[in-house]
Structure 1
């Protein structure tokens, strides 16, 4: 058995989420951030550069993760990438909550979702780690 259809669906969905958010951050940062109650100054080129670079990173990771849904040789690295990506974002937001205070509900929901996705991906990793090599 190569891998579960559920694992492939998971990789496709979580990769697509990361990829889509990456597209929004790279190409539409002002509009995307405004949807979370974050209002950027269009003349703050340094901050926009920082946000866009995160978008590019999410696009790249999203591509790696989605590839694992279709190419078996990428499945393990895709799952590991998903775990790292979602836990890194989720726990970084948790740290920010502790040191900076409670963010908007949108950001708080993102943190909860990211940690939940990280947990789900970790569960799949341990379930399929022997099969994935």
Structure 2
């Protein structure tokens, strides 16, 4: 049951962020005071990861609703959230501290990624 809750939260968050990044990148990044401009190349580079996040969200949400598909979505969620959180930490070291909401995002990403690893370790071997 806890796996399903974690995967649901993980999937829905990725779906929301992915959709906002893909369909409304200017508005999404403006919430952090980031102005994107109208360069088609830049917008393509911003939108494409949004589509990737939507695809990951769909795969993760499948695991929330299909008990037989729990392990792979947990692995995917651990990788996606862990890599985002760890990349933000690296960026903080290289570039300095971002806004408090981006620091909070890193904490949430690392927490979800860590929980996914814990839940994976608790799964019975297949």
**Normalised by the shorter chain, which TM-score bucket?**
over 0.9
The 2-side partners of 1:46 and 1:101 are apart by 26
**How many residues were matched structurally?**
126
CA deviation profile, 1:14-63 (whole Å, cap 9, x unmatched):
1110011000000000000111221211x222221111011001000000
Q: Normalization by structure 2: what TM-score?
A: 0.95
Q: Is the aligned partner of 1:17 residue 2:13?
A: yes
Find the residue that maps to 2:46 and give its secondary structure. Answer: helix
The 1-side partners of 2:102 and 2:40 are apart by 23
Is residue 19–residue 62 contact of structure 1 (8 Å, CA) maintained in 2? Answer: yes
The 2-side partners of 1:38 and 1:108 are apart by 15
Is residue 11–residue 78 contact of structure 1 (8 Å, CA) maintained in 2? Answer: yes
Q: Normalization by structure 1: what TM-score?
A: 0.90
| Structure 1 position 69, deviation (Å) | 0.8
Unmatched 5+ stretches in structure 2:
none
| Structure 1 position 72, deviation (Å) | 2.4
Dislocated runs of 4+, deviation >2 Å: none
The 1-side partners of 2:95 and 2:69 are apart by 38
* C-alpha RMSD of matched pairs (Å): 1.0
Unmatched 5+ stretches in structure 1:
none
Q: Is the aligned partner of 1:40 residue 2:18?
A: no
